[in-house]
Amino acid sequence: MSDDVVEVNRVNATFEIRNSGNGKGLGGFAKRKILKGEVIVAEPPLLKIPDSAIGSLDEAMHFANTEFKKLSEIDKKRVLSLFNAFPERGVSGIIQSNALPTDDGGGLFPTLARFNHACNPNANQSWISKKNEQRVYAVRDIEQGEEIFYKYIPALFMTYSERHSVLSQHFRFECKCMHCESLSQNSDKKAKSDSNRSRLASIKDDFSELENDPEEALSLLREMEELILEEGGHEGELAPFIYDTFVNCITTPKYLKKADGLIQRAHKVLSNCLPSFSLIIFCSLNFFLPPSSSFPPSLSPHWIIFSLLRPKY
């Protein structure tokens, strides 16, 4: 085990990095019970790659190599110890295998990179621009000794074969997460899950086309919530669509009350999923408040929540 993994394990009371078994390499495991909403790791990027630097594969590789050379010897060792699905691409292969999105491109987070993928994960990752850090937080209670997973792809909106194809192409591994393993042993269950996730993808597309149609938005939101629950997803997945429904309701006077209810619901979803995160929103995003003349006073205080829920499909 590399020195930085030993160090990560030494300083963390919440999780440890150790062998995951089944050929998955290392993974993150809960050292104690972790409660839903708890931040498990918060890590600044060791190396950032802006969208503007990724015009072509050659450009991206050149930029990655240049940035890598600027690192200290210790940090270079940390990067080189990470999994590389594309060894023929050198350092840029490591970045491609492990980078996570930020608001203007991607970044390498050596500790977060140790966590494995699952199609129904018990954690989620999120870039916090104001703090310049990527966070992993629990989306449900995680028991001591349980492996901590987040998703590398939008798995809830992809069928079994779509997920396996993308993971194989972009990360060169075959997903053997608990969800996929249970589906591979039961064809009826797999067909049902595929049907649900295809429908979720279709609803997501429908939402992007909707404009000033509160009834349809509310109906789609209800269906989406049922499907997400059936698929074992977490309520945070619904947040961008609550925002879309809100936008459709706010333009029609008779739906303003519904819009207010949606705001409160979004607050509840965020508070349940990530309490510390929603507190940051309340404290730091006041400039997102809309002109008070355009919104009923009862709606305004919660508007700031929605600045964070803008769809990021």
Nearer residue to Zn ion within complex by CB, 119 or 263: 119
Task: Write the DSSP assignment of 109-170 as a string of letters.
Answer: -TTGGGSEE-SS-SEEEEEEGGGTEEEEEESS-B-TTPEEEE-SS-GGGS-HHHHHHHHHHH
Half-sphere exposure of 25 (CA within 13 A, CB side): 13
- Answer for the pair 92, 106: CB distance below 8 angstroms, yes or no: no
Long-range contacts of 20-23 (CB under 8 A, 24+ apart): 20/116, 20/147, 22/176
**3 state SS for 234-270:** CHHHHHHHHHHHHHHHHCCHHHHHHHHHHHHHHHHHH
By DSSP bridging, strand 39-43 and strand 133-138 are antiparallel
CB of 163 to Zn ion, least distance (A): 6
Task: Write the DSSP assignment of 65-89 as a string of letters.
Answer: HHHHHTS-HHHHHHHHTS--S-GGG
Binding of residue 183 to Zn ion (CB under 5 A): no
Only segment of 102-110, 180-188, 275-283, 299-307 that touches Zn ion (CB under 5 A): 180-188
Nearer residue to Zn ion within complex by CB, 231 or 260: 231
From 136, 138, 177, 309, residue interacting with Zn ion (rule: CB under 5 A): 177
- Kindly state the tokens that stand for 133: 């850090």
Binding of residue 180 to Zn ion (CB under 5 A): yes
CB of 172 to Zn ion, least distance (A): 15
Only segment of 43-51, 54-62, 118-126, 143-151 that touches Zn ion (CB under 5 A): 118-126
Site string for Zn ion, 137-176 (x = CB under 5 A): --------------------------------------x-
Identify the DSSP state of 34: B
CB of 118 to Zn ion, least distance (A): 6
Nearer residue to Zn ion within complex by CB, 121 or 214: 121
Only segment of 4-12, 77-85, 177-185, 196-204 that touches Zn ion (CB under 5 A): 177-185
Site string for Zn ion, 272-291 (x = CB under 5 A): --------------------
SS3 of 194, please? helix
CB of 149 to Zn ion, least distance (A): 9
- Answer for the pair 217, 249: CB distance below 8 angstroms, yes or no: yes
How many residues interact with Zn ion (rule CB under 5 A)? 4
Burial annotation 185-195 (CB, 10 A radius, 16+ → b, else e): eeeeebeebbe
Nearer residue to Zn ion within complex by CB, 5 or 119: 119
Nearer residue to Zn ion within complex by CB, 192 or 265: 192
- Answer for the pair 46, 75: CB distance below 8 angstroms, yes or no: yes
Nearer residue to Zn ion within complex by CB, 49 or 123: 123
From 91, 119, 158, 266, residue interacting with Zn ion (rule: CB under 5 A): 119
Nearer residue to Zn ion within complex by CB, 112 or 177: 177
CB of 21 to Zn ion, least distance (A): 16
- Which phi and psi angles does 18 have, rounded to 5°? -150, 175
Residues in contact with Zn ion by CB under 5 A are 119, 175, 177, 180
